[in-house]
């Protein structure tokens, strides 16, 4: 025992003495080099930081001042247009020579655009054929600007576009010194006239002076910084050399003494710990060692004595983690991750799966006026039921985004009947909406409608992401197709792809067969509206009244188009001519596209808005003549107020 303690003590003492000797000898050699490197790096760092800061400031200055310049120029042109609307005659023909003699018109149309350094641009007026009406250079008035096409092709391209639309843009031209200048032009039509207001500036005049001052100031700072650093080099050299030597000697002495004490304190406790570890390895979790010696050794011995309880607790926590983790991914994925190290590796495999995607119709609009707490309660009721059904059918829930759900069947565990499971699951999810809406109605919450798309295909399934954040998911074109199929569905529908239909056609009942144009899919895609499935699942959706009843009096509406959940515009006059529980026939002025999402806002006899909105999807469109069209619309979401008005119109209220 004494020999072993002495061996440790001697080893530590000689180690620290050797380190001290190396520090003292080495510091004398390294100090000068370290000081030079420190100075050089300080200079390099300061210069680099200054250059980066200057570059960022120059860039930011150009972006900000360019934006300011664009705003000033556009505002100048808009002001001229607004004034000309009231000054120019509303009807032609126009006498250009007479117009040019009007000093008021010349003052409005010919203006100089100034910066603090002087004029940088001007405004002028020309017609849609290119003839110059007003220009700062009166000598060019009456000429056609298109004659300069070969000299200024970029400017002429922008000019020609302005004949048909309001435009703005950049081009490069030569100044009087034959230097390239970046120019910005705004060209706006004067409504009701053939005239166009043009505003042209040298846009770089807004930022070049400021940039030049920034660069000069940066160079001055760099010179001052270098001078200060060089002056401090000698003082730093002395301070570093003395400080390092003193610190090295002091730390070496303290380390040597500490090594002697530490060596004596750890010898005996380490032997006890060694024996205890051996017993734990043999399965004896109740082993204990003496908690004596240095503080760290005492803590180590105490921690070792707690090892048995911690190991027992670890087993319990492992089971808890597995169960908790199962709330975020399915139990199949948890089991695979815990049983196989390979399951954690990034990458995947190609496998045929069936994908299901669902989404609530008009959910954003329905919850717009609800408190966040109500929205969460409202949404959790729906998601809780849907997740329960998905797990019952052994689905892997890939993602829940708001009110949308993406899940798949057939991985990680193979399922031979994954297409049948997916369709049956979709039908049961759709059927469960009656229960959810019954509870919502009892709580005074809105009625919900859900659309579902199902597709079968080969995808890459596996761990996607990085070592820090991984997700077990599917990727591939079948996922995109499923999303487009779901977006083509209306509330209460389950649409399946042709690939899914081929594998379940002997078990299902199909209603309508749809031909849908999809982005990224060549030709028309075939989708099947599934009504029921036979066999072991035996699920049938409740039939809805689709009979359209002609209204005695047309029901006026405001018909708005929706793209990506954003209202993009409204048609002209519109009214409902036929109505059912799930759809309507609408006559309207304007244009609508098949499968386009719309919002219907009911109007009274005075064309004032009635509370309540209806959301729907355009199923078909046909012309009626005289700019009138007729559209068949399937409802996807109906507010309570709108539902009452519909019942009254159908004679059921």
Domain boundaries, the chain: 80-209, 346-540, 549-649
Instruction: Tell me the average confidence (pLDDT) per consecutive run of 10 residues in the chain, 653 residues long.
Output: 50 65 69 68 73 76 77 88 86 86 91 84 90 90 84 83 90 77 89 91 75 73 74 71 72 66 63 71 74 71 70 56 48 56 63 95 76 86 94 92 93 92 96 91 84 95 81 91 90 93 95 85 89 92 80 88 82 89 88 86 86 84 88 82 80 65
Is the CB of residue 84 less than 8 Å from the CB of residue 108?
Answer: yes
Is the CB of residue 495 less than 8 Å from the CB of residue 489?
Answer: yes
pLDDT confidence of residue 259: 59
pLDDT confidence of residue 1: 42
Give which of 527, 506, 326 is closest to 417, Cα–Cα.
506
Give which of 639, 646, 597 is closest to 619, Cα–Cα.
597
Q: Backbone dihedral region of 346: left (phi > 0), alpha (psi from -120 to 50 degrees) or beta?
A: beta
pLDDT confidence of residue 354: 97
* Greatest alpha-carbon span in the chain: 119
Q: Are strands 566-570 and 574-579 parallel, antiparallel or unpaired?
A: unpaired
pLDDT confidence of residue 106: 92
* CA separation for the pair 571, 562 (Å, rounded): 11
SS3 labels along 108-152: HHCCEEEECCEEEEEEEEEECCCEEEECCCHHHCCCEHHHHCCCC
* CA separation for the pair 24, 47 (Å, rounded): 34
pLDDT confidence of residue 545: 63
pLDDT confidence of residue 533: 95
SS3 labels along 232-301: HHHHHHHHHHHHHHHHHHHHHHHHHHHHHHHHHHHHHHHHHHHHHHHHHHCCCCCCCCCCCCCHHHHHHH
* CA separation for the pair 584, 612 (Å, rounded): 16
Query: According to DSSP H, which parts of 584-639 are helical?
Result: none
To the question of pTM greater than 0.75 for the whole model, the response is no
* CA separation for the pair 598, 617 (Å, rounded): 6
CATH no., domain 549-649: 2.40.10.220
- CATH T-level fold of 80-209: Beta-Lactamase (3.30.450)
Is the CB of residue 3 less than 8 Å from the CB of residue 232?
Answer: no
First-residue to last-residue Cα distance in the chain: 100
pLDDT confidence of residue 505: 94
| CATH match of 346-540 with 3.30.70.1230 | yes
């Amino acid at each position: 025992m004494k020999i072993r303690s002495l061996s440790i003590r001697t080893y530590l003492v000689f180690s620290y003495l050797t380190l001290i000797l190396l520090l003292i000898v080495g510091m004398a050699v390294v100090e000068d080099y370290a000081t030079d490197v420190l100075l050089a790096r300080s200079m390099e760092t300061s210069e680099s930081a200054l250059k980066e800061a200057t570059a960022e400031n120059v860039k930011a200055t150009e972006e900000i001042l360019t934006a300011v310049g664009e705003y000033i120029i556009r505002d100048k042109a808009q002001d001229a247009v607004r004034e000309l609307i009231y000054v120019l005659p509303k009807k032609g023909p126009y006498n250009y020579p007479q117009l040019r003699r009007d000093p008021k018109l010349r003052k409005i149309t010919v203006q100089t655009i100034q910066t603090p350094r002087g004029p940088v641009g001007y405004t002028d007026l020309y017609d849609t054929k290119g003839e110059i009406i007003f220009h700062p250079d009166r000598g060019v008035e009456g000429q056609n600007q298109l004659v300069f096409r070969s000299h200024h092709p970029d400017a002429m391209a922008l000019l020609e576009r302005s004949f048909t639309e309001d435009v703005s843009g950049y081009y490069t031209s030569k100044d009087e010194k034959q230097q390239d200048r970046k120019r910005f032009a705004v060209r706006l039509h004067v409504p009701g006239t053939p005239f166009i207001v043009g505003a042209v500036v040298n846009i770089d005049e807004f930022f070049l002076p400021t940039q030049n001052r920034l660069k000069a100031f940066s160079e001055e700072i760099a010179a001052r910084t270098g001078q200060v650093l060089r002056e401090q080099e000698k003082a730093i050299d002395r301070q570093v050399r003395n400080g390092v030597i003193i610190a090295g000697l002091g730390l070496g002495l303290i380390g040597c003494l500490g090594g002697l004490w530490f060596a004596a304190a750890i010898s005996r406790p380490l032997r006890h710990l060694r024996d205890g570890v051996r017993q734990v390895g043999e399965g004896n979790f109740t082993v204990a060692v003496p908690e004596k010696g240095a503080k760290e050794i005492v803590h180590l011995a105490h921690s070792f004595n707690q090892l048995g309880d911690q190991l027992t607790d670890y087993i319990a926590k492992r089971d808890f983690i597995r169960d908790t983790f199962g709330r975020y991914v399915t139990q199949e994925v948890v089991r695979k991750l815990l049983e196989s190290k390979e399951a954690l590796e990034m990458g995947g495999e190609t496998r045929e799966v069936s994908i299901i995607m669902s989404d609530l119709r008009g959910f954003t609009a329905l919850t717009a006026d609800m408190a966040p707490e109500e929205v969460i309660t409202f949404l959790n009721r729906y998601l809780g039921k849907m997740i329960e059904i998905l797990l019952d059918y052994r689905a892997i829930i890939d993602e829940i985004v708001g009110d949308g759900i993406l899940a798949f069947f057939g991985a990680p565990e193979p399922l031979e009947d994954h297409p049948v499971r997916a369709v049956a699951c979709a039908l049961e999810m759709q059927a469960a909406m009656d229960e959810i809406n019954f509870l919502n109605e009892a709580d005074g919450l809105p009625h919900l409608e859900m659309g579902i798309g199902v597709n079968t295909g080969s995808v890459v399934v596996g761990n996607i992401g990085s070592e820090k954040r991984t997700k077990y998911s599917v990727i591939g074109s079948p996922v995109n197709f499923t999303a487009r199929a779901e977006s083509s569905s209306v509330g209460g529908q389950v649409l399946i792809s042709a690939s899914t239909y081929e594998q379940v056609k002997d078990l299902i009942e199909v209603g309508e067969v749809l031909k849908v144009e999809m982005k990224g899919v060549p030709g028309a895609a075939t989708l099947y509206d599934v009504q029921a499935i036979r066999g072991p699942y035996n699920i049938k959706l409740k039939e809805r009244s689709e009979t359209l009843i002609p209204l005695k009096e047309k029901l006026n509406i405001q018909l708005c188009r929706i793209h990506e959940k954003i209202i993009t515009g409204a048609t002209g006059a519109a009214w409902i001519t036929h109505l059912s529980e799930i759809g309507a026939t609408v006559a309207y002025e304007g244009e609508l596209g098949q499968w386009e999402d719309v919002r219907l806002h009911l109007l009274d006899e005075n064309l004032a808005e009635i509370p309540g909105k209806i959301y729907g999807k355009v199923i078909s469109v046909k012309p009626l003549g005289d700019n009138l069209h007729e559209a068949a619309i399937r409802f996807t979401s109906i507010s309570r107020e709108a539902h009452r008005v519909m019942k009254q119109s159908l004679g059921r209220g």
